[in-house]
Amino acid sequence: MGRTKYDIGQIIRDHYQDFFSGFKVDPQVRKSFSAMAVCRTRYLGGHVDVCPECGEVHVSYNSCRDRHCPKCQNKEREQWIDMRREEIIPRAKYFHVVFTIPDSLHPLAMHFMNEFYSTMFRAAWKTLEKFFKAQGLKGGMTSILHTWGSNMHYHPHIHCIVPGGGIDKDGVWRSLDGCKGAGDFLFPVQALSKVFRAKFMSLLPKALKPSGGLIREDIRKQCFARGWCVYSRPPARGVEKVLEYIGRYAYRVAISNGRIMDYDGERVTYDWKDYRSGGKHRTMTMKAVDFLHLFSLHILPKGMVRIRHYGLVSPSNRDRLREVQAQLGGEPVPKHRPRKPYLQICQEHGWRIGVCPCCNAELITIETINPSRAPPLSFLRRRTACTK
């Protein structure tokens, strides 16, 4: 929870004009960039704390709470992970499934994000639902949309957490045929790939029609000429580790400030993991404007829901989920789940919030800084230039 040396907000403040003039920028990108530019600055207000032991004074500024900001929503992420832990089905084997779209469809995805991403979710669930029904079961999945790879390049895909079983027509839990005993088999991935491709390519034209979008015939042929990639494996270290892995990106986009290795005012260098070379860490350097463009590709449209639950784990089937958990001797999901206070979450994770870093005494708030009207980004840039 400590401060990082480099900050995306600073890069936005320094180069937003060049970026906005050099690229066609969506209004939602402008809104998110404006929020991130003033995140944890005096323009959003804050409070002044003092240590009663050593007299050290600490000034803390408020967050922008934008869902794309790398400095925000730590609380929401941990609450999400805790809620998913409560929904785990005891003794059930879980699988991490990833549905990926071929790059020939990327230009279409960028122009029709809402329709394209929603179709990805629907096609992924209809694919799994088809295989569950073949065994006479009602299954479920928790899914999260990612639009980036480790190198920040555009790469839309759906991460899914899928229990290896479902309920039959009598409401009794049964494991899938391939998930019994020590098996690590959910469904055949080649069959999943073919069905997912067919479902997606059938649903997408219907989703694009109201917006006037079309799939060119040559693109369609490319899509059917190659196999699509579906990954399906049980998590090596259990379902809770997958929840933590996916949860890191549930309320954050593309890159954290901690991965920015260097920023000299003109160029940005960041760390990324090359999975094609065994997960080796590499660095990438580019102009700050190009970095902002790359980051902007992952700003979601207004109202786009990035986390979705289907089947047995959907909110509408919460009572059925409780029955299954009770059948298997587990603790049912509480009917009322109060949200934990922020300070409690910080204490559980060892985050040093409200504590003096010098003597570990609890800080006392002596002044509240009222937020001012968020200034135009041009004003921010002039202020930044004057203070350098």
How do residues 283-323 score in pLDDT, each as one tens digit? 999 999 999 999 999 999 998 999 999 999 999 999 999 99
What is the CB neighbour count within 10 angstroms for residue 42?
13
3-state secondary structure string across 169-205: CCCCEEECHHHCCCCCCCCCHHHHHHHHHHHHHHHHH
Place of tokens 């929401």: 76
The residue segments making up the domain with residue 228 are 74-342
In a domain, 114, yes or no: yes
Query: What does the pLDDT average to over 69-88?
Result: 85
How do residues 197-244 score in pLDDT, each as one tens digit? 999 999 999 999 999 999 999 999 999 998 899 998 887 666 777 777
In a domain, 38, yes or no: no
In a domain, 187, yes or no: yes
Place of tokens 């996916």: 246
In a domain, 375, yes or no: no
In a domain, 14, yes or no: no
- Amino acid found at 227: G
Tokens of 250: 């549930």
CA angle 256, 61, 72 (to 5 degrees): 30
In a domain, 95, yes or no: yes
Number of domains in the chain: 1
Q: Which residues contact 327 (CB under 8 A, 6 or more apart)?
A: 172, 173
In a domain, 63, yes or no: no
Query: What does the pLDDT average to over 183-192?
Result: 83
